[in-house]
Amino acid sequence: MQPDKPATLKPEMPRGTSLRPKMFESVRPGLDAIRMLRMLAGVFKTSKRWRAVALIVTAVTITILEVVLILRLASWNADFFNLLDQRAVGGLPAQALSFLAIVLGIMVLQASSLESKLRLQLVLRTYLTATLRDAWMTDGRHYRLRYIAGEHGNEDGRIAEDARVVCEWVVEFFVSLLYAVTQLILFVGVLWLYSGPLYVAVGSFAFTIPGHMVWIALIYASLGAAITIFIGSPLVRATDARQTAEANHRAMLIDALTHSQAIALARSEAGERTRLAQAFDSICAAWSRQRASLRNLIILNAGYGHLTAVLPLLMLAPRYLAGDMQLGTLMQVTIAFGQVTAALSWLSSNYSSVAQWEASVERVLQLQDAVENSSDPAFTDQEGTFTHVRENGPALTFSDLTLVLPDGHICIEHFTAVIMPGESALLETTPQAAEALFRAVAGLSLWGAGRIELPEDAEPFFMGEHPHIPPAPLIEVILQPLDAQALSPRVVAQTLASVGLAHLTPLLSTTSNWEEELGLEDQQRIAFASALLQKPRWILMHEATSALSSEAEAELIELLRRSLPDSALIVITHRTISRKFERRIVVRGQ
């Protein structure tokens, strides 16, 4: 058998030229906050929409009632201090009962508010987590992300932690902002009515400022917000830097745990400790920057809060002492001033939380953009990418295919071949080129030029060196992605025996950490069992028999050909395979 001759090579791309797709040159319009709110609004298109609507209506109702009770408490303060001012002892029992009813109402409403907020947070987090998880864990996107430029690493932290922060705080902001708006609407009337006009005379010029404490509250709150934004502006970047450093540290810990055996065998604990310490040092540096911003905000808020409580008393005390205002009215105006100022100072009071939320929003959207762009045809058609399509034709076709590694190194140039259904083909090339070609057919790489065509109805079965062996019941591991009930345990047991794994038959219903329990040879045999059970029409292998002896390799490949005669078997390798294939195709690799 003569090998197929490789296509004539006509280098057209400079060696070493990086063809990495620039996934983020296109910037979507709109603020991140608006984009995130639109993204969360998708929950209203799911089966949970009525639950979300009910919880939102409940939260709104409770919040409004809570502010109404606070307004009633302010009115109670006016009545109570007027009684004290008048020494009217007989009215105290009624005032005490009224106060008790108001406080009990506030307690019930606050508990109910917490319950509705927590439930709404969970609904939103369930939706956002599912959206990110499903988009990320689809069509190999999670794999392609590692080779795509941009700030979207530490996907685990973005999906688990940042999504939690986004959903929890968006509910908190919604409820607190609604509270602030209701505060402003109800208490600004009290402040306007009871603070009265302020008469100002400058020489012969005199004028009156109606409801003067409203204007003072507005100026006071605006000044506080401006100072808060000025002082706290570095906080968003500092918070983002800290969250990134925390995610990197966590990822390194997970990586060390995943490669625990290799680290122990290599006695490389000292190097790992150094790298982990460096990652934690980055956390400390980011924490220092965040701490400085938080310290400045706390100093401002502490002084601002105490001044808010005293300022109306100081301004209105002369009117009270002059007999123009009752003590109860003074206290009621003081409370109303505090409520109006608090409403107008919503941003100042929540600035650090807003900064944390914005940082998490940015990290979540970076991941979402990267995931969407990794499969967007608009990006795959640009220079430096090849076309990976499904056609109506029956064959697997490579048309003038050039593959480029992420660093820009060209590993395959102008490869052309056609493999028909049912054929067995051995594609021989260099190690790097074999891995790149295997990834390209699987759709996990897009760098290069040319075209790969798969039959439209093809569902290829890919067998790599390390099969996916999750901690699940063994029968689920073998049948994935099929349902565990798709085949009877008896059929699965027979197939296990045929690939040399009869000893695993009693463990089919057992859940274990199989990747640790089973050696690589058994794991690779499980992949053969899966192929035999699922009967795919196209089987592509790369290093899928690296842990097997040459005799076992030949037996299992022969078993596949004998059991699945209508399936195409394509082995992409740099090694010599003992079994005779119908075709041997030499792929010029570098």
Q: What is the pLDDT of residues 513-522, one digit of tens each?
A: 888 888 999 9
pLDDT digits (tens, 9 = 90+) for 243-292: 778 878 887 888 787 777 677 766 778 878 888 888 888 888 888 877 77
Average pLDDT score over residue span 12-28: 37
Task: Pick the closest to residue 343 from 190, 197, 167, 210 (CA basis).
Answer: 190
Take residue 172 and report the two structure tokens written for it.
């908190």
Distance CA 68, CA 173 (A): 20
Strand (E) or helix (H) holding 364: helix 351-374
Task: Tell me what the pLDDT averaged over the chain comes to.
Answer: 79
Take residue 346 and report the two structure tokens written for it.
């919503």
- Check whether 50 has a pLDDT greater than 60: yes
Average pLDDT score over residue span 72-91: 76
How much is the pLDDT for 392?
61
- Domains in the chain, please, with CATH? 32-375 (1.20.1560.10), 387-586 (3.40.50.300)
CA angle 199, 203, 209 (to 5 degrees): 20
- Check whether 528 has a pLDDT greater than 90: yes
Least confident piece of the model among 24-38, 210-224, 457-471, 572-586: 24-38
Q: Is 450 left (phi over 0), alpha (psi -120 to 50) or beta?
A: left
DSSP letter (8 states) at residue 161: I
Q: Which of the four pLDDT bands, split at 50, 70 and 90, describes residue 127?
A: very high
Write down how long the chain is: 590
How much is the pLDDT for 57?
94
3-state class of 102 per DSSP? helix
pLDDT digits (tens, 9 = 90+) for 317-375: 766 676 666 776 677 777 777 777 777 778 777 777 887 888 888 888 888 888 877 65
Residue 120 contacts by C-beta under 8 Å, 6 or more apart in sequence? Answer: 52, 55, 56, 59, 171
Give me the helix-helix angle, 212-232 and 351-374, nearest 10°.
50
- Check whether 510 has a pLDDT greater than 80: yes
pLDDT digits (tens, 9 = 90+) for 400-456: 888 887 677 888 888 888 888 889 899 888 888 888 888 888 877 767 888 888 887
Distance CA 263, CA 250 (A): 17
CA Rg value for the chain: 34
pLDDT digits (tens, 9 = 90+) for 190-242: 777 766 666 666 766 766 766 667 777 777 777 777 777 777 667 767 777 88
Query: Residue 4, exposed/middle/buried by CB under 10 A (0-12, 13-18, 19+)?
Result: middle
107, HSE (Cβ side, Cα atoms, 13 Å)? 6
Largest CA distance in the chain: 115
Task: Pick the closest to residue 351 from 285, 300, 306 (CA basis).
Answer: 300
